[in-house]
Structure 1
Amino acid sequence: MHPVVIGNGRCMTRDTIIKGYRIPKGVQVIFQHYVISNQEKYFANSNEFYPERWLQENTSRHAFASLPFGYGRRMCLGKRFADLELVMVISKILQKFKLEYHHRDLDYHINPLYTPKGPLKIKFIAR
């Protein structure tokens, strides 16, 4: 799947060794969401749309396998607001509409977020 955010970056405050590689102070290290999101060892059937995977805590998954809002003291301040807003908006849409999508898989481009190339042809059918 295609995460919205390309990655989270951190600037090294001191020389650091990561997996045997020396990373000098001042270098920006990027945690690539797209790469880790498509690794089967963290996400079974990673190329399939399976939103239920996010509904329960998966204790077998690495704690840093998904960090769309970052981590630590520079974590996104709007995370809780975004979570609540998504629940409300999706609930309201699904109360009033059935959604259908009968088109080919979407192509994506980076602009600077992962976004669909072309229109989303989702059909909203009133309930």
Structure 2
Amino acid sequence: MSNITRSIARRASNSISESLSAEEIFLQVSSKANTTDANVCTWEGNDTLPFDRLQKHHDIVAIDVIFQDGTNEYIYGKWGGDSEYTNENQTVSVNENTGDLYIVISEKDNVQQHFADSLEEDEEDTFWDLYS
């Protein structure tokens, strides 16, 4: 994520809220996360794999970043286009060798440019076990 800004604004009923927004979001998700157990989508049922849904629907609004100490921060991405349902700033691709998912939310960059080398990696080039 880059250029994260914190905003404080008055909302309805005079409540004050704070939010974080990122100019750009770059994510690599391990193929191990592509299970029906990881799917929290309620309107399509539990038979859709998360990576299939993310490739089909470009509608990520925010990323919930959970830190090792258990705290979290909800960080909004930049929404582009006139649609309420499809973010034109979001591009998604899967590495066919590793099964890892790559997501970019950016006005200036896309997944094919940002992750060009990673999208062509072989299975043995990826070391997810270090992070498990």
TM over 0.5: no
TM-score, normalization: structure 2? 0.25
**Quick check: which has more Rg, 1 or 2?**
1
TM-score, normalization: structure 1? 0.26
User: Which structure: greater strand fraction?
Assistant: 2
